Amino acid sequence: MGLVAYVGFGYYQLHSVPAPDSTVAAIPIANGSVSPAATALPASATPIPAPTAVRPARRDLGVKLTQLSWLRVNVDGHVVLEGEFPPGTVRDFRGKHVKLLVGNAGGVEVSAPGQPERVLGSIGQVVERDYTLPGKVK
């Protein structure tokens, strides 16, 4: 019951975003730039979906935010990241077991070793995922 209340509160916070001109305190990130410009395609143009890349040589879990989202990341039993993060946030997590709890799953892309990058869910959806990562190659 406590987890439901906690996730519900995180969802509430996610959707009670302050006005664009107000200041939001966030954890500093490296390379957190966002491109606000969107280009429109002519009516006759058919968009071609970009191929999803597979990360074959990596042994970590990559997380990239495309929208404001709340995250809690637990690596090998320890919470290593928790809070609300802006679009453009990119993080990699290493360990044997990574557990994600995400508010606004539609704004979170995850790339696991040997799997294509994918969006965790739909916009506003709260999602929990567990990943077991491969060990070191000897």
pLDDT of residue 137: 46
Residue 53 has pLDDT above 90, yes or no: no
**Closest to 16 in 3D by CA, of 109, 108, 124:** 124
Amino acid code (one letter) for 97: H
Looking at residues 75-95, what average pLDDT do you find?
Answer: 95
Residue 110 has pLDDT above 80, yes or no: yes
Alpha-carbon dihedral sign for residues 111, 115, 117, 122: negative
Model confidence pLDDT, tens digit, residues 88-108: 999 999 999 999 999 999 999
> Which helix H or strand E contains 11, and what residues bound it?
helix 2-15
Is pTM, for the whole model, over 0.75? no
Tokens, residue 42: 């002519």
Model confidence pLDDT, tens digit, residues 4-50: 444 555 555 545 444 444 334 444 444 444 444 444 445 555 555 55
Q: 48-80 as b/e, with b when 16 or more CB fall inside 10 Å?
A: eeeeeeebeebebbbbbbebbbbbbbbbeeeee
pLDDT of residue 24: 40
